[in-house]
Structure 1
């Protein structure tokens, strides 16, 4: 299955003179170079199913940092193996984001253990 944006995002980008045809052609050529990709093609733009364009005020670009089928879900910084706040993780992306947010508010430092950061964030 080809990776495609939801139609409301296509309409939004089209209204901004974004060349979707060129983008999709380039994306298809790139993705077709690989026997498989993680996440699966239909999940590449999964995040755009969760939010409408008019609700966005900031975009944080990233890549699915967990190249495992059990973790990759198509939403950057989201490990689908994590079901609860207390779950231990192998990836550092979420830990670093949480620590950076708490450090920017003066509530923790980068040396604060992640278990303590979780408690502070509650």
Structure 2
């Protein structure tokens, strides 16, 4: 995310600020990992049931968690990114066009969650 900050001006970031970034391009996701692996590699101390529960909250369930990130739809990648943000619990969330690739129902759920 820091590479996207303008090179002019000043930015003060409190040492207590934990920033979570939603990248609409999902550039940080590894296309070779499964959906399950992608979340688990970021939080290796979580039990499988906790990882699956986090994915389930964004409607990634059952066999979907075994799909490679490189073959899932843009909407599924967005939901995976939201699962990562939920588990990270940042106190500041920067969202880069979060509704791209989302269907109407998911957009409405996102609106309620925010």
- Is TM (by shorter chain) over 0.5? no
Q: Greater RCO between the two (CA within 8 Å, min separation 6)?
A: 2
Return the TM-score normalized by structure 2. 0.26
Higher helix share: 2
Q: TM-score, normalised by structure 1?
A: 0.25
Higher strand residue share = 2
